[in-house]
Amino acid sequence: MLDEKTLTMVKTHPGFIAAMDQGDLSTPGALRQYGVPDETYQTSEEMHNIIHDMRTRMIISDEFSSKYVLGVILYKDALERAIFSEPMPNYLWNKKGMLPFLKIDQGLAPLVDGVQQMAELTEFDTLVEKAKDFPFIGFKFRSLVCAANEEGIKQLVKQQFDLAKKVYSLGYLPMLEPDIDLHIIDKKQAEIYLKEALIKELNNLDTDMKIMLKLTLPSEPDFYHDLLDFPQVVRMLASSSGLRQTEADKKLSENHDMIASFSRALTEGLSYQESDMEFDFHLRQTLHAIFDASNT
């Protein structure tokens, strides 16, 4: 749970957040990128076993160091997983010195008013109860903007902040992710509406409350930078949103005081067919590039 030590780490430690929270829908794409075709597995359990092996290979590498990685976002599946017989979140904290976060949303609701809010959190109480047995310091939750619909975006942001208040009251740091579809034609206007909605909610938020914001890389560099003027925002993260690694790094470097929370761009170029030496070489290149882009 959150305490002053971990809050200070979140605020001041260099590095970035590794997003390893692919769920049932996004895992097949992640495995294809890793060189594992769909026909390799037949069941959801087999699929999650394979991606756990991929994550473990990354985490246990000497290259995957707290010098570069501040924290890791995990999927609920990680609550049942171990690395060298130690629970995965515990291994990250005890052996790697990285802050573990848990993804708690259950996917997206149907499209309404140009947005997909979070689906109903039917597992929330169960996940929170299970999380108490692990060193999680925060929970992440995502929704998606699909069009520049002002009212839809307001309601989406309100839902995010309502959940953030609940999460913080339980002793965890909320990581809000009001994502924007990178490919919509009115992305710049959607960003304007999103920023306005975020400012409105922040102005009404208790100044003692702390949150993290994970945002899609903006069309205009540093567009979200002034959100960091709010004392409630302890760190602002950037989602790669499906961008290729080099493009995501370039855009991130143009947004000062914003650090990466990459998923696709983190694992790009890695392959299960590589030798450990080749794998570590590519991982080192990726980690260095993301770290440099996060600390410009």
The residues annotated with a catalytic role in the active site are 177, 214
* 99 and 76 Cβ atoms separated by less than 8 Å: no
Q: Which residue has the tokens 């246990």?
A: 60
* 19 and 262 Cβ atoms separated by less than 8 Å: yes
- DSSP assignment, residue 42? S
Name the region of 242 (left: φ>0; alpha: ψ -120 to 50; beta: rest). Answer: left
Crossing angle of helices 187-203/150-169, nearest 10°? 40
Helix-strand-coil split of the chain, %, nearest 5:
45, 20, 35
